[in-house]
């Protein structure tokens, strides 16, 4: 399971630099660009607890 990105710098993609993501186990924008799916569709009927 990939590690989650929690660093403050990661939230601001404009000033993220490659060096900030050299920490082992931390994914950076380069990794995200390849296979991130930014829109997910969910059925409004697909929430358990509404009959």
Partner 1 sequence: MSMTRPPEAVTVPLRPPVAAQPPTATRSLVEEFAEGLDAPICLTWELTYACNLSCVHCLSSSGRRDPRELSTEECFAVIDELERLQVFYVNIGGGEPMLRPDFFQILEYAAAHHVGVKFSTNGTFIDAAAARRLAAMDYLDIQISIDGADPDVNDAVRGEGSFAAARAAMDHLRDAGFGPFKISLVVTRHNVGQLDGFKAIADEYGAQLRVTRLRPSGRGADTWHELHPTQAQQRELYHWLMGRPDVLTGDSFFHLSALGDPLPGLNLCGAGRVVCLIDPVGDVYACPFVIHDEFLAGNIRDTGGFTRVWRESELFASLREPDSEGACVSCGSYDACQGGCMASKFFVGLELTDPDPECVLGHAEPLLAAIAADTATGRRADPPRPGADHSRPGVPVPSPVTLRPTRRSRG
Partner 2 sequence: MTSARDAPSVVPAVARGAVYRLAQNVSLRPERFGALAYSFDTRKLSFLKHPDLVSVVSSFDGIATVGEVFDTVGVDPRRHASFLSALATLETSEMICHVDDPAP
Report if residue 33 touches partner 2, rule: CB under 8 A.
yes
Cβ-proximal residues to 26 (8 Å cutoff; 6+ apart), any chain = 3, 5, 7, 10
48 binds, among partner 2, partner 1, none (CB under 5 to 8 A by kind): partner 1
Q: How far, in Å, CA of 17 to CA of 49, rounded? A: 44
Judged by CB under 8 A, the chain residues 4 through 33 that form the site for partner 1 are: 4-6, 8, 10-11, 13, 27, 32
Q: Cα 29 vs. chain centroid, distance in angstroms? A: 9
Q: Exactly one of 3, 9, 13, 17 binds partner 2 (CB under 8 A); which one?
A: 13
């Amino acid at each position: 399971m990939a590690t989650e990105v929690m660093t403050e710098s990661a939230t601001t993609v404009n000033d993220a630099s490659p060096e900030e993501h050299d920490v082992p186990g931390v994914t950076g924008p380069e990794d995200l660009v390849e296979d991130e799916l930014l829109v997910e569709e969910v059925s409004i009927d697909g929430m358990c607890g509404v009959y």
